[in-house]
């Protein structure tokens, strides 16, 4: 422990350098930090103290054992520009109330009922792949998961909008690290092309979500999807009230993006690894929370069962019909945004099975 009470870390780096390093090469910077200072280190960036933890036991302490001592950081505070005050960004009693309202949409029986649609979309998309063709499986998985989340959670066919959604989402995520820089609020007001594209992307995603909400208001009823449950939800353990239109939008946007972007990334990374390292299964026996894509504790992702079901069903449906061999010798470069995207896509060669 350093003399001032903070863990060890770089002390003489100019104030502006650390945010830039985090923005340009965050993974390289953090790996070097761990190599130099161990599992607990400290940096100051943009006037904030940041403690970096790199051990499953410490991660469990934060997410589970002592979770009440921690709140969201600047990154997710800024994420409210896109997600509003949904499950990912809300805190305290508001988070608990919203989770109670949404939980029924993710009961085991309901998630199991989504498997048919997942299989249908996986079968449909792989049937388009010609034997010997080279394609970007990351982009293909984005289209697939968009179709699945649209059908199962919103009872809507949004696959035709995959390109618009993908471009809008990329514009938003590509600007994420600027929110961590000093004077980010000022930068957001300047005519910077990347930030202007991010604003346009947020507006496009809003348009898609609000259109689905408006359509459902015109034809109310339970269609067995998430949106129906959001519109009809009543908080029986709390004040007995339902959600405002804004709350429905915030939760729908959160689930829409979480059920699309994150699962697509996980599938793309998994397909690449399976193509390179058939023996990778033995590495799946990491300690708990060495890999924690869904978080842990009371803030553990509400859609974990949905994501696991979709991942397993999609991989099984594809693997029965094709083998996807990596088209590049080197694995994809991790591209950290709000999620960890495969930079440059995941090119694969289709090998149809007999």
* CATH label of the domain that carries residue 331: 1.10.630.10
As given in the structure block, the two tokens for residue 88 are 């990912």
As given in the structure block, the two tokens for residue 116 are 């048919």
Q: Is residue 166 classed exposed, middle or buried when 0-12, 13-18 and 19+ CB atoms within 10 A define those classes? A: middle
Which pLDDT score is estimated for 99? 85
Q: Which residue has the higher pLDDT, 337 or 43?
A: 43
Q: Is residue 219 classed exposed, middle or buried when 0-12, 13-18 and 19+ CB atoms within 10 A define those classes? A: exposed
Check pLDDT > 80 for residue 270.
Answer: yes
3 occurs within a structural domain: no
CA distance 218 to 85: 25
6 occurs within a structural domain: no
Distance between terminal CA atoms of the chain?
A: 61
Check pLDDT > 60 for residue 85.
Answer: yes
pTM over 0.75: no
Which pLDDT score is estimated for 232? 80
32 occurs within a structural domain: no
45 occurs within a structural domain: no
Which pLDDT score is estimated for 22? 64
Structural domain count of the chain: 1
pLDDT band with cut points at 50, 70 and 90 for residue 221? confident
Whole-number CA gyration radius for the chain: 21
Q: Is residue 235 classed exposed, middle or buried when 0-12, 13-18 and 19+ CB atoms within 10 A define those classes? A: middle
40 occurs within a structural domain: no
Average the pLDDT over each of 36-40, 70-74, 128-132 and give the range with the smallest value.
Answer: 70-74
pLDDT exceeding 90 applies to what percent of the chain? 14
Which domain, by its residues, includes 213? 55-352
Per-chain mean pLDDT for the chain? 80
Q: Any alpha helices (H) in the chain, and if so which ranges?
A: 17-24, 26-37, 56-60, 74-78, 80-83, 92-102, 108-113, 115-126, 137-154, 162-174, 184-187, 193-218, 226-232, 245-257, 263-276, 304-319
28 occurs within a structural domain: no
Which pLDDT score is estimated for 65? 92
pLDDT band with cut points at 50, 70 and 90 for residue 17? low
Check pLDDT > 80 for residue 115.
Answer: yes
Q: Which residue has the higher pLDDT, 292 or 323?
A: 323
pLDDT tens for 165-179 read: 777 777 777 776 666
SS3 content of the chain, % helix, strand, coil (to 5): 60, 10, 30
pLDDT band with cut points at 50, 70 and 90 for residue 130? very high
pLDDT band with cut points at 50, 70 and 90 for residue 162? low
Average the pLDDT over each of 152-161, 194-203, 293-302 and give the range with the smallest value.
Answer: 152-161
Check pLDDT > 70 for residue 282.
Answer: no
Check pLDDT > 60 for residue 273.
Answer: yes
49 occurs within a structural domain: no
Average the pLDDT over each of 41-45, 98-102, 230-234, 313-317 and give the range with the smallest value.
Answer: 230-234
pLDDT band with cut points at 50, 70 and 90 for residue 72? confident
Q: Which residues, including other chains, have CB under 8 Å from residue 8's CB and lie 6 or more apart? A: 1, 2, 37, 38, 40, 41, 42
278 occurs within a structural domain: yes
């Amino acid at each position: 422990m350093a003399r001032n009470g903070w863990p060890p870390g770089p002390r003489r780096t100019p104030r502006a350098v650390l945010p830039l390093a985090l923005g340009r090469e965050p993974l390289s910077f953090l790996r070097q930090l761990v190599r130099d200072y161990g599992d607990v280190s400290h940096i100051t960036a943009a006037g904030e103290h940041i403690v970096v933890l790199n051990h499953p036991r410490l991660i469990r302490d934060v997410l589970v054992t002592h979770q009440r001592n921690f709140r969201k950081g600047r990154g997710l505070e800024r994420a409210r520009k896109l997600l509003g005050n949904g499950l990912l960004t809300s805190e305290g009693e508001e988070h608990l109330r919203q989770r109670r309202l949404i939980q029924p949409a993710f009961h085991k029986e309901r998630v199991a009922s989504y498997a048919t649609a997942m299989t249908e979309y996986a079968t449909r998309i792989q049937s388009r792949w010609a034997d010997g063709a080279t394609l970007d499986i990351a982009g293909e998985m984005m289209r697939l998961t968009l179709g699945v989340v649209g059908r199962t959670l919103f009872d809507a066919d949004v696959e035709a909008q995959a390109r618009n959604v993908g471009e809008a989402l990329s514009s938003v995520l590509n600007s994420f690290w600027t929110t961590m820089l000093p004077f980010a609020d000022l930068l957001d007001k300047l005519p910077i092309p990347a930030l202007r594209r991010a604003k346009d992307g947020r507006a496009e995603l809003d348009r898609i979500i609000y259109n689905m909400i408006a359509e459902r208001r015109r034809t109310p009823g339970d269609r067995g999807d998430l949106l129906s449950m959001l519109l009809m939800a009543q908080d029986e353990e709390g004040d007995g009230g339902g959600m405002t239109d804004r709350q429905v939008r915030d939760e729908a946007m959160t689930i829409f993006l979480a059920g699309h972007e994150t699962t697509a990334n996980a599938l793309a990374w998994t397909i690449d690894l399976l193509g390179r390292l058939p023996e990778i299964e033995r590495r799946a026996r990491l300690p708990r929370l060495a890999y924690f894509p869904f978080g842990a504790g009371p803030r553990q992702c509400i859609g974990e069962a949905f994501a696991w079901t979709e991942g397993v069903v999609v991989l099984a449906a594809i693997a029965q019909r094709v083998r996807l061999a990596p088209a590049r010798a080197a694995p994809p470069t991790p591209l950290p945004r709000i999620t960890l995207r495969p930079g440059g896509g995941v090119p694969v060669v289709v090998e149809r099975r007999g």
